[in-house]
Amino acid sequence: MNISPDNFVFRIIFNIKFRVSALKMEKFIIEVPHEATKAACKNAVRVFLETGSHFLRQADWGCQDGEHKAWLIVEVENKDQALQIVPSLYRPVAKIVKLHTYTREEMENIDEFHPV
């Protein structure tokens, strides 16, 4: 087995690149609605806090503006992982949208890159 410094460095770089590409994350916005009552707001916030998830503690809430929803932007591997972040009580009503930032080329050629 050849363990020259060049070969060793190549293997380390290859392993790092392989692992990073295997862990490619996608960005999602999660919207979690709740009823427009003080009790529902209080319960939603309590449930989010009690999960202990750092994702849920970072949620943005619209209740102060009459929009009774929480939003989270997360980077995970897929929509199923995003849904697992949501407390089970709210999973049936959660909406998850994959986000994409268009490159300049995609913007200039939107007809080619837009799926619909």
pLDDT per residue as tens digits for the range 66-83: 999 999 999 999 999 999
Helix (H, G, I), strand (E, B) or coil at 76: strand
Domain count, the chain: 1
Write out pLDDT tens, residues 12-48: 665 565 555 556 899 999 999 999 999 999 999 999 9
In this prediction, residue 53 carries a pLDDT of 85
pTM of the model: 0.75
In a domain, 8, yes or no: no
In this prediction, residue 5 carries a pLDDT of 55
In a domain, 16, yes or no: no
Residue 89 tokens, joined: 């009580």
In a domain, 115, yes or no: no
**Closest-CA residue to 53 (of 79, 87, 25):** 87
CATH of residue 40's domain is 3.30.70.1060
In this prediction, residue 52 carries a pLDDT of 82
Q: Which residues contact 54 (CB under 8 A, 6 or more apart)?
A: none
70 burial via Cβ count (<10 Å: 0-12, 13-18, 19+): buried
Query: What range defines the domain where residue 68 resides?
Result: 26-105
In this prediction, residue 89 carries a pLDDT of 94
In a domain, 56, yes or no: yes
